[in-house]
Amino acid sequence: MKNNEENTMKILGMLVIASILMTSGCAAFKANNLPTVDKASYTVQNQERVKVFSTWKAREGEAMHKNYFDAAIRTSGCCDIVGDREQADLVVDGTSVDEFNKAALIPAMISGFSFGVIPSWANIPIHLRVTATSSGEQHTYDLADSATMVTWLPMLLAMPFTGHPVTTEKDMTQNAYNTLVSRMKTDGLLTH
């Protein structure tokens, strides 16, 4: 009797492990519309730090977009983030354009229910429209990139070489904000 219970537990354990492995057949492929910027491209050494104020509009997650922008500004070393427009040397008004197709969730669920046997894919976009104003002068930026997430059992073999969709999306998004800061640096907005 005890051997039957042990065998049953081993079989259940193996089924759980197999299910986890099968459902993790997910990989992400970057479009690389925005080349990855290195830290030197957006790092600025200022004697006097520029005061930056930003607002972000998005269908969802406005605070998240502000956090990504603030992280890129802080990493650049150029600026201090201030709480209102009147204190700022540079005012950034940004919009994250929502281009995610929620209908792509249905094939993803079907793929999940089939343990990755039925393939599905979805586009993960990032699109920023930004107006930066300094000393009455306006600069506009339009940055877009994307990645394709593929859910299919054979992607289990590709994932180590492509990246996990969650980390790929996060890296792509941070790179978009780093690119924005790099372009503002090139336009002279981050120095006095």
Q: Enter the pTM of the model.
A: 0.80
Judged by average pLDDT, the poorest of 87-91, 102-106, 169-173 is 102-106
Predicted local distance difference test score (pLDDT) of residue 123: 87
pLDDT digits (tens, 9 = 90+) for 65-82: 899 999 999 999 999 999
Domains in the chain: ranges and CATH: 2-186 (3.30.160.150)
Closest to 51 (Cα-Cα) out of 135, 130, 129? 135
User: 184 versus 153: which is more confidently predicted?
Assistant: 184
Predicted local distance difference test score (pLDDT) of residue 45: 86
In whole angstroms, give the CA distance from residue 55 to residue 45: 24
User: 6 versus 50: which is more confidently predicted?
Assistant: 50
In whole angstroms, give the CA distance from residue 130 to residue 85: 16
Closest to 132 (Cα-Cα) out of 71, 180, 66, 78? 180
Predicted local distance difference test score (pLDDT) of residue 165: 76
pLDDT digits (tens, 9 = 90+) for 175-185: 999 999 999 99
Closest to 124 (Cα-Cα) out of 97, 98, 102, 147? 147
Share of the chain above pLDDT 70, in %: 82
Predicted local distance difference test score (pLDDT) of residue 15: 55
pLDDT digits (tens, 9 = 90+) for 107-150: 777 877 777 788 888 888 999 999 999 999 999 999 999 988 88
E strand residue ranges, 97-190: 120-134, 137-151
Q: Sorting pLDDT into bands at 50, 70 and 90, what band is 22?
A: very low
